[in-house]
Amino acid sequence: MSETLNGNSNTPMVRALGFWSLWAIGVGAVVGDGVFLYTGYALGEAGPSATAAFVFAGFVQMAIMVSMCELSVGMPSAAGPTVWVTHYVGRFWGLLSGLAFTVGYMILGGSVSVALGRIIAYWTPNMDLEFATILWAAIFFTLFLIMNIVGVEFMGKGQLILCIVLVGIMTAFGIGGMIKGMDMANFQPYMPYGFDGLSAAIPIATYAFMGASCICFAGEECKRPKDMARALVWSSLTFIGVYTLAMVAMIGHVFYGELAGLEASPFTIAAQIIFGPAGGAIVNLAAAIAAATCLLTGALYTPSRLFYSMSLKGYMPKFFGYLHPKTKTPVYGLLVCWVVGMAGIGIASSVGAMTFYVFLSNQAVIAWIISWALSVYAGVRYRMDLGRDAIKEKIGWTQPLFPLIPIVAIGGCIYCIYLSFYDIYQVLGLAVWVAIYSVYYWRIQIKVKKGLIDDDISFIRQG
């Protein structure tokens, strides 16, 4: 991905992303810690029926993505849902939708670092597992901070190559596992913990599949906005197919009880059993690269750029708008993201790495579902205001099966967020960051009334 960022708010970002680059962003955002590590937790909750949880979550995610397609094409912006929701619902909800997405990514700074630390710990078996997890998490998160500050740019072609490699490994794993033959007895009983176990696995699967919506934030960098709609659909179909295949092959060779938990990636364990140590090492390397990519582009890059853009019109403190004079990177935004992530890693060292990982991952699910639900509602308003024919003429792409798909999307959001509040700590976590947002919005309202900042929040530059 390529961009132009400097102190001139009128400087447009570079439109360098075609369909395949956008597809790679969507699929690559999903190929991360959720699939490679969190799947083990899902197997512990649901047994073989975790496959059904992932398929369900995948199609709910796809319904959400399709529901946002028309807005992505008709109102393209790097602010994503902030602009859409503000226009159709109001500024309070618009800012909430954009910042909830960003909060989700900042939460991932700590949780994905911990996941990456656990994956890397696979290669340091002589170290204490908890200590190695925290150590590697801190080292790599700091390394990625430095890489961002010195001006690392992610080109669309590079992301595409990485995505093809990762998807290729998982496809080969799934097909190879099928060819080697499977023990179907491993799927019995299919629901050992009943419907409650299956339900518990759905938020986990939702977390694993929730990255594709990053495509919606590429409005200023895509060559053709219509490609965002195509990429949202095809990236969803890709990860549903690839990871369902891989999960079936994995369970078909290894009893799910041996894969349950978060001690290591279940795919790594299965690959080692099916293909030997070399196979395990290759899949574990893929897991490490995937988690690292999520950290580099999500937890650090995305929030820092959004905060930079918001600061230009006073919606964030001015220091977020500072760019390094040589590298032209938003240093202070990156440092804030790093501090939040490192604080999370520090907390993980006290409460337990994987306990912390599970808690923050679920908080990210809650934050992103709120953003998604608001975006889907805005999409419904967009269709009702303009009508199918006008949208087709204006943007050349219309949402199929309207209003069925948005109904499925909203229903899925409500069900997933209900399942996400499985203990009081999740409710308290939500209350904390909603309270922080409410204070933030109250201060914004005061500034708007005093004329200190522009009432127009279309603060992301249009190229």
| For range 186-211, the mean pLDDT | 84
| For range 311-332, the mean pLDDT | 80
Q: Which helix (H) or strand (E) holds 101?
A: helix 91-120
| For range 403-409, the mean pLDDT | 92
Flag whether 459 is in a domain: no
- 363-372 confidence digits (pLDDT tens): 777 888 888 8
* Residue 263 in this model has a pLDDT that exceeds 70: no
| For range 26-38, the mean pLDDT | 64
Q: What is the CATH number of the domain that holds 433?
A: 1.20.1740.10
Quote the CA–CA distance of 213 and 305 in Å, as a whole number. Answer: 17
Least confident interval from 239-253, 289-303, 360-374? 289-303
* Residue 430 in this model has a pLDDT that exceeds 60: yes
Confidence of residue 32 (pLDDT cuts 50, 70, 90): low
Flag whether 457 is in a domain: no
Phi/psi at 222 (5° precision): -90, 145
Flag whether 8 is in a domain: no
Query: Which range of residues forms the domain containing residue 250?
Result: 19-449
Which residues are CB-neighbours of 230 under 8 A, at least 6 positions away? Answer: 19, 22, 23, 397
Flag whether 394 is in a domain: yes
pLDDT at 410: 92
Using CA atoms in the order 267, 271, 272, 275, what is the torsion angle rounded to 10 degrees? 180
Confidence of residue 343 (pLDDT cuts 50, 70, 90): confident
* Residue 239 in this model has a pLDDT that exceeds 70: yes
Flag whether 332 is in a domain: yes
pLDDT at 279: 85
Provide the mean pLDDT of the chain: 79
Positive or negative torsion for Cα 421, 198, 360, 59 = negative
Flag whether 6 is in a domain: no
Tally of structural domains, the chain: 1
Flag whether 3 is in a domain: no
- 218-236 confidence digits (pLDDT tens): 666 677 888 888 888 888 8
Flag whether 141 is in a domain: yes
* Residue 429 in this model has a pLDDT that exceeds 50: yes
